Amino acid sequence: MVRALLDSGGLTVAKARAVIEQLQTPHAHVAEVLGIAQSSVTPDVASGIELDRVLRLVTRWGWGIDPGDTASLGALEHALDGLEAAGFELPDGVLDHYAAHMAAIATEEVARIPTESVDAAVRYVVLGTVLVEPLLLALRRLAQQDASVRRFDYRGPDC
């Protein structure tokens, strides 16, 4: 398990240790597991980061989120700031479209959280949070290649 966490990309030994500790900690309610898993692997944000914009976005999307989750909200704000700093503008509606697809993925994932025991739920959520993110990124990149081939009818020199 430790090897899988370290090989997942982006987890330090310290973060992997924190994830393992969460797997070994007894939890009273399945509902608290997702937040714990995410906090174990989400980088801290700089203090003082402005979150009003992302709070407006998640409200517009109708998402029931914890407004005190400054790490996840800050990660979204940081990503949006990066787009702006690079002068990269998403076309109108694209961010909402991305959010809708991520909501569908999240709904599917949460629906599959085991309910027979808190321990099973903790293991599923923590490992799923850490190990599925690189999978989603890899699938996105391959889907982009496919979309590019279809749009531009180009198979490259080696295809």
Mean pLDDT, the chain, whole residue set: 85
Q: Which residue has the tokens 């027979």?
A: 116
Question: What are the pLDDT digits (tens) for 76-116?
Answer: 999 999 999 999 999 999 999 999 999 999 999 999 999 88
Burial class (CB in 10 A: 0-12, 13-18, 19+), 126: buried
Work out the percent of the chain whose per-residue pLDDT is above 70.
Answer: 87
Q: Rounded to whole angstroms, how far apart are CA atoms 70 and 118?
A: 25
- 15-48 burial: b if 16+ Cβ within 10 Å, else e: bbebbeebbeeeeeebeebbebbbebbbeebeee
Query: Which pLDDT does position 48 carry in this prediction?
Result: 78
Question: What are the pLDDT digits (tens) for 16-59?
Answer: 787 777 777 777 776 676 676 677 667 777 677 899 999 999 99
Query: Which pLDDT does position 144 carry in this prediction?
Result: 95
Query: Which pLDDT does position 35 carry in this prediction?
Result: 72
Domain boundaries, the chain: 42-150
